[in-house]
Amino acid sequence: MLIVGALMTRPSIFISLVVTSAITLMPASAQETPAQTASPAISENVSSFERAAGGNDSGYNSSVATADDVKPFDPAAATQVWLDSVPRNQREKSNAYFEGGYWLILWDFVLAAAISVLLLASRFSARLRDFSERVTKVRNVQVACYAIPYLLLVYALSFPLNMYENFLREHQYGLATQSFAPWFREQLLGLALTLVGGTLLVVVLYAVFRRAPRTWWIWGTVVMIIFSGTLVLIAPVYIEPLFNTYKPITDPKIRDPILAMARANEIPVKQVFEVDASRQTTRVSANVSGLLGTTRVALNDNLLKQCTLPEIRAVMAHEMGHYVLNHGAKLLTYLGIFILIGFALARILFDVAIKRWGEKWGVRGISDPAGLPLLALILSTLLFIATPFLNTVVRITEREADAFGINTSREPDGMAKVALKLGAYRKLNPTPLEEFIFFDHPSGRARIRMAMDWKAANLPAGERSTTP
């Protein structure tokens, strides 16, 4: 289940690169638009809010107090002021939500492992294989006859935790907007997709296992990359429309500044969309999905409703960063490396386990579908151990998009405000170890600091010629 389950239930890695936010906003002041000069203009630009962040006037005894009265902009202090602006109860709530997610990673793994062990030790897996062999002599069909009940059973046994994690808990924290019926309908839709995609994948993988019992880990990696790439490629066209409606952004006040950034970065105009995510969630977010010709950037309607133009520009520029920097293809490549290492280790561990317990479990070898729970157990364990490394690879990619975004949007305060809104469901100020292990995006603190560092650098925009 994990191979497939990861694809379907953790689409963040595979399908979308998500950035987010949620709350109220300050009006965009003219000074928040791009710095037009190289003059030490920051002091003129600071609102009282940022002035409080940047300036500590105490002890500055100035008898010649004029322009020198203003202290240089201090990014660290400014970052702290932004962070301190979040009310305590709000911060505690989002910390609790996010830290609860740490434990869910563990419980998800423990449950997946327990299900695998149960299926093996009870010999249910062996009996299901025997059943599939009685049904047909055709190997591929046997594998499908094994895979479909297996996927259904794993889904059913995981359902209570799934429902707590994705329905009850989301409501508990005010992040969900769906009642049970529409949520469950989407679950069934996801299950149907998992059955189709998962069965196809398992059948192809076992065809590889039968033909290459020693080198399956190499060819299996190739299969996984092709499968993941295909999934990412078709997602915007065939999968995402099943859950949400995507339409081009039409409000000229929002559309035109976004299209200006798109044009400045050679992004085809038709790729900027609005998605009705409020159907499922109150989260503010945007994403890039697809690959090659199907790639598109989408803002969600929560973001459009709750954010000011500077914030929207900051988020869109980040998403455009994913597009321009080809992050879809790059993440797929990194993923391929992880899969190759994982399959290489799985090849060794699988054989060790079969030598020891194969007879007891009734599993003959890698090409026997009865060993699928063992393979899932090994891969989910490796995936669990790899969590910090996978998160770090994705987080670094997100940081690249942030850097692209701040340079394109030139909205340091917009970026800071969005980072605070993301704090509705992501811990704002984690320890470095926490960020390394659990964060697949930079923390709010890291993002605000990047924005404030950018602001402090006060980059010139270059000369603007008046001639056409």
Interface with Zn ion (CB under 5 A): 17, 19, 398, 401
Nearer residue to Zn ion within complex by CB, 17 or 418: 17
Nearer residue to Zn ion within complex by CB, 8 or 401: 401
Nearer residue to Zn ion within complex by CB, 17 or 317: 17
The least distance separating Zn ion from the CB of residue 334, rounded to whole angstroms, comes to: 15
Judge contact between 248 and 256, C-beta under 8 A.
no
- Across-strand partners of 288? 17, 297
Nearer residue to Zn ion within complex by CB, 153 or 286: 286
Q: How far is CA 255 from CA 28, 30, 312, 431, in A?
A: 17, 19, 10, 38
Nearer residue to Zn ion within complex by CB, 327 or 410: 327
In angstroms, the CA 80 to CA 240 distance is: 39
The least distance separating Zn ion from the CB of residue 404, rounded to whole angstroms, comes to: 10
The least distance separating Zn ion from the CB of residue 318, rounded to whole angstroms, comes to: 6
Compute the Cα dihedral for 341, 344, 348, 354 and give only its sign. positive
Nearer residue to Zn ion within complex by CB, 71 or 399: 399
In angstroms, the CA 99 to CA 233 distance is: 33
Q: Mention every residue, 6+ apart, whose C-beta is less than 8 A from residue 325.
A: 400, 401, 404
The least distance separating Zn ion from the CB of residue 285, rounded to whole angstroms, comes to: 9
The least distance separating Zn ion from the CB of residue 270, rounded to whole angstroms, comes to: 21
The least distance separating Zn ion from the CB of residue 378, rounded to whole angstroms, comes to: 31
The least distance separating Zn ion from the CB of residue 129, rounded to whole angstroms, comes to: 42
Nearer residue to Zn ion within complex by CB, 17 or 151: 17
User: C-alpha angle 459/461/464, rounded to 5°?
Assistant: 160
In angstroms, the CA 100 to CA 91 distance is: 14
The least distance separating Zn ion from the CB of residue 239, rounded to whole angstroms, comes to: 19
By CB atoms closer than 10 A (0-12, 13-18, 19+), residue 417 is: buried
The least distance separating Zn ion from the CB of residue 156, rounded to whole angstroms, comes to: 34
Nearer residue to Zn ion within complex by CB, 17 or 147: 17
Least Cα distance to 70 among 87, 48, 85, 90 occurs for 48
Q: Mention every residue, 6+ apart, whose C-beta is less than 8 A from residue 270.
A: 248
What secondary structure letter does DSSP report for 468?
A: -
Nearer residue to Zn ion within complex by CB, 318 or 449: 318
Least Cα distance to 169 among 243, 99, 86 occurs for 99
By CB atoms closer than 10 A (0-12, 13-18, 19+), residue 467 is: exposed
Q: Rounded to a whole number, what is the distance in angstroms from the first to the last CA of the chain?
A: 60
Nearer residue to Zn ion within complex by CB, 17 or 249: 17
CA dihedral 279, 281, 284, 287 (to 10 degrees): -70
The least distance separating Zn ion from the CB of residue 330, rounded to whole angstroms, comes to: 13
Judge contact between 147 and 202, C-beta under 8 A.
yes
- The three state secondary structure string of 184-199 is HHHHHHHHHHHHHHHH
